[in-house]
Amino acid sequence: MSKSPGEFQLIERLLKRLGPGRRAILGPGDDCAILPPARARQLLTIDSMVEEVHFKLAWGAPEALGARALTVNLSDIAAMGGKPTVCVVNLALRDGLGLRLCDRIYKGLGAAAARCGVEVVGGNVTRAGALAITIALLGEVRGAVLRRDAGRPGDTIYVTGTLGDAAAGLRILSGRLRARAAARKFLSNRFLQPTARVEAGLRLARIKPAPAAIDLSDGLWQDLGHILERSGVGAEIDAGALPLSAAYRAAVGEDPTLALGGGEDYELLFCLRHAFPAPALTRSLGVRVTRIGRITSSGKAVLINARGSLRGGPPLLTGFDQLRSRPGP
Ligand SMILES: [Mg+2]
C-alpha cells in the first residue's frame, strides 16, 4: 500500500523526536539506515505488541506502551548476554488514533532506548486494523553467548527477580483478580513497565563455562521447557523456592501457579555448572537471584512441591494461552 503524504509526515515527526544518534552512519530519512561494519557478533531479534492481544490502551499510559515494546526485545538480547545497540520500529495504526497518542508512544520508546544506549535508526508507519508496535533490535556480543542448548545435568538453576507478578498484574488489570491498592499498583506496574535484565545478562556472560539462559516471557515452566528441549536434559524445580513478591503473596497467596505458568515477567532463568550462593550472585549481577532447582538427565521437568513429593508431566498453565488479555470463548 502506498503511503499518503500524512503518513510520511508522521514518520518524520515521530523519528525527529528520537534525535540523531552516534551508532549509525545514516539514521532515518533514506530507504535504509547505514550501520558501520560490526566489531562483534551480532544478535537480531523481533517482537510485536498488538492491541487486544497483548494490551489494551485503557490499561496504562501510551509512554509505558512504547517503552514496553522495546523492553520485550531488550529482554531477548539480555537472555543471550548481549548489549543492545540499534532498532527499527514499525507502528501500525488503526482508525481513530490521534497524533498525540503516537507522540506519547514514541516518547516512552525514545526514553527507554536512551536509558539503555539503543538508537532508533529507522521506522515505518502503516494503517492497520489494530494498533501494533513491532521492533527489530540488534545487539552485540563480545564474549560468550548465553544459549538455550548449554544446560548440563548437575547444573544449578536460578532466576532473577520475582515470578508471577506480571501475570497477577494482568489479572488485576483485566478485572480477574482483586488486591489492595499497594499490591495492585506494584503488580500492574510489573506487567505494564517490566524491566529487561540487560546488565545482569552481560555480567552472566562473563561466567565460565557460559551458562544456559532464557528470558521468562511465556512463564517459567514453558521457558524452562525450551532449555530442557534444546539441551536434551530434565529438571527438578523446588516449588517452595520460587521467589514470590510481597505483593504477589498479598494478592494471590502462596499458590505458585502464576509464578510457574504466568508469562511476561522478563526475568532471566539461567543454569550454572558451578553453583554459587544466591546472595553472592545477587551482588555480582546487581539483581535479586534465587536458586530454584537443578538440571537432571531425566529428560523431563518435575516439580517438587511443599510436601516433598514429586509431580511431573505437563505444566500447570500454558504461559501464553492462559494469559491472553482477551477472554477466551
Ligand atoms: Mg525470549
Quickly list H helices, 152-256. Answer: 165-173, 181-192, 198-204, 220-231, 246-252
Query: Which single residue is written with the C-alpha cell 497518542?
Result: 101
Query: How many A from CA of 156 to the centre of ligand 1?
Result: 20
Per-residue model confidence (pLDDT) at position 4: 62
And the C-alpha cell for 321? Answer: 494461552
The pLDDT value recorded for residue 308 is 55
Distance 145 CA to ligand 1 centre (A): 14
Burial label, 104 (beta-carbon count in 10 A; 0-12, 13-18, 19+): middle
Q: How many Å lie between the centroid of ligand 1 and the Cα of residue 218?
A: 8
In the structure, ligand 1 is a single-atom ion and the residues with CB under 5 Å from it are 76, 215, 217
Look at residue 327 in the predicted model and tell me its pLDDT.
Answer: 33
Asked if residue 226 lies in contact with residue 144, where contact means CB atoms within 8 angstroms, the answer is: no
User: Global pTM?
Assistant: 0.91
**How many angstroms is it from 1 CA to the middle of ligand 1?**
32
- Tens digits of pLDDT across the chain (329 residues): 556 656 667 777 777 766 667 888 888 878 888 999 999 999 999 999 999 999 999 999 999 999 999 999 999 999 999 999 999 999 999 999 988 999 999 999 999 999 999 999 998 889 999 999 999 999 999 999 999 999 999 999 999 999 999 999 999 999 999 999 999 999 999 999 999 999 999 999 999 999 999 999 999 999 999 999 999 999 999 989 999 999 999 999 999 999 999 999 999 999 999 999 999 999 999 999 999 999 999 888 888 876 654 555 444 444 333 333 333 32
Task: Calculate how far, in angstroms, residue 223's C-alpha sits from the geometric centre of ligand 1.
Answer: 8
Q: List, in order of start, the domains of the chain with CATH numbers.
A: 5-141 (3.30.1330.10), 148-323 (3.90.650.10)
Residue 107 dihedral angles phi and psi, to the nearest 5°: -65, -45
Per-residue model confidence (pLDDT) at position 216: 98
- Report d(CA 238, CA 307) in Å as an integer: 11
